[in-house]
Amino acid sequence: MTVAPSIDKSALLAQLGPGVEASYPLARLTSFKVGGPADFFATVRTEDALAGLVRKAWALDLPLFVMGNGSNILLADRGIRGLVIHNLCAEVTYEESALNQDEGVPALLIAAQAGAMLPRVGREAIKRGYYDLVYATGIPGTVGGAVMSNAGAYGWCMADSLSWIRYLARDGEVRTIASGAAELRYRHSRFKDSGEIVLAAGFHLNQRREEARASELNRRRRETQPLTLPNAGSMFKNPPGTAAGALIEQAGLKGRRIGDAQISEKHANFIVNLGRATARDVKALIDLAQSSVKEPLELEVQLVGDWSE
């Protein structure tokens, strides 16, 4: 269902229930700071509230998008049709087991709701002496988004330490699966395509020896990535055996600008908002990069919303 001007939004608001707003501006909630409004918008802070609202949207055949930190997405200037749910469910628990039965070493078991910020989870694990998520301290996203895209950096990814995932299935039931059933591969999981909603995830950490310091990885990020300007992270997946940023730079596009969007002069796999960029400006640079580089460049950032002309 597409919400058109002829649709009675007041009637839909009544059916969705209290706490849902109409025509909500979303750009401020995204890391790119671009894009239009949501037809309907709600913030949830409990899994029961999230699941209940998702079920209502499904029953109404209303398009649905669950937003975490608003990173790794490019929101269309026309906004998003249907309902956007801002997931602020962020409870995290940490439990240290006596021994990891497989390896005979201590382990840290983490249960994190999908709205929890991934850097926070990584930092808290480090405080307890576990370094499996050290790479995650610089990824500005939520646990749910990271699971959905199997996020990673510097050779690590979610699949390395995920143990289970709790989700809302398309039939409205809450289920839990082992990570092996999540079809995790490079920047992908089954949840990217299935319409299922990630509610929480469990991690099993046992890396007690510090192999890389969070401060060192974050120093490298500051030196090589345009962290002071609005952006959505790495724009393209790295093709096998090479780096997307290097290919874009070799094509002579580093620093190229359309409107107030620019292929970063610091890292060519980042597009930045210089102040007043539109989503259409950013998309034009995406198209330019894909048409200029000989190897196929697959988007890592998700295009969200109404991209019709």
Domain borders along the chain are: 9-87, 92-205, 225-304
For the four alpha carbons of 302, 63, 117 and 94, in that order, the dihedral sign comes to negative
Question: Residues of 223-251 as b/e, b for ≥16 C-beta within 10 angstroms?
Answer: eebbbebbbbbbbbbbeeeeebbebbbeb
CA nearest to 39, candidates 107, 85, 72 = 85
Same fold, 9-87 and 92-205: no
Rg (CA), the chain: 20
Choice among 187, 189, 249, 264 that is catalytic:
187
User: Tell me: the pLDDT tens digits for 41-83?
Assistant: 999 999 999 999 999 999 999 999 999 999 999 999 999 999 9
Q: What is the pLDDT of residues 142-178, one digit of tens each?
A: 999 999 999 999 889 999 999 999 999 999 999 999 9
140, 31 Cβ separation under 8 angstroms: yes
Please indicate whether residue 264 is annotated as part of the active site.
no
Residues 42, 247: Cα–Cα separation, whole Å: 40
Nearest CA-CA partner of 141 in 301, 280, 273: 301
Q: Band the pLDDT of 207: cuts 50, 70, 90.
A: confident
Buried b (16+ CB within 10 A) or exposed e, 76-111: bbbbbbbbbbbbbbbebebeeeeeeeeeeebbbebb
Question: Which residues 6+ apart lie within 8 Å of 44 measured at CB?
Answer: 50, 53, 85, 86, 87, 88, 89
Closest CA to 84 of 3, 184, 182, 194: 3
CATH topology of domain 9-87: 3.30.43
The reported pTM is 0.92
Question: What is the residue-averaged pLDDT of the chain?
Answer: 93
Q: Measure the CA–CA gap between 34 and 12, rounded to whole angstroms.
A: 26
Catalytic residue among 124, 196, 249, 300: 300
- CATH code, residues 92-205: 3.30.465.10
Tell me the CATH number for domain 225-304: 3.90.78.10
Q: Is the pLDDT of residue 214 over 80?
A: no
Give 217's pLDDT tier (boundaries 50, 70, 90): confident
DSSP-H helix ranges across the chain: 9-16, 47-59, 118-127, 143-149, 191-194, 214-224, 244-250, 279-292
What digits encode the pLDDT tens for the residues 244-301? 999 999 999 999 999 999 999 999 999 999 999 999 999 999 999 999 999 999 999 9
Which pLDDT score is estimated for 2? 45
Task: Say whether 187 is catalytic.
Answer: yes
**Has 221 been annotated as catalytic?**
no
Quote the DSSP letter at residue 216. Answer: H
User: pLDDT at position 102, please?
Assistant: 58
Residue ranges in 35-161 assigned as alpha helix (H): 47-59, 118-127, 143-149
Of 201, 197, 179, 195, nearest to 48 by C-alpha is 197
Check residue 208 and give its pLDDT: 73
The confidence score (pLDDT) of residue 166 equals: 98
Instruction: Describe the chain by its helix, strand, coil percentages, rounded to 5.
Output: 30, 30, 45
What's the pLDDT tens digit per position in 16-30?
999 999 999 999 999
- Out of 234, 249, 256, 264, pick the active-site residue: 234
Q: CA-CA distances (angstroms) from residue 149 to 75, 141, 229, 238, 302?
A: 17, 11, 23, 14, 10
pLDDT at 181 over 60: yes
| Tokens 């999908």, located at residue | 114
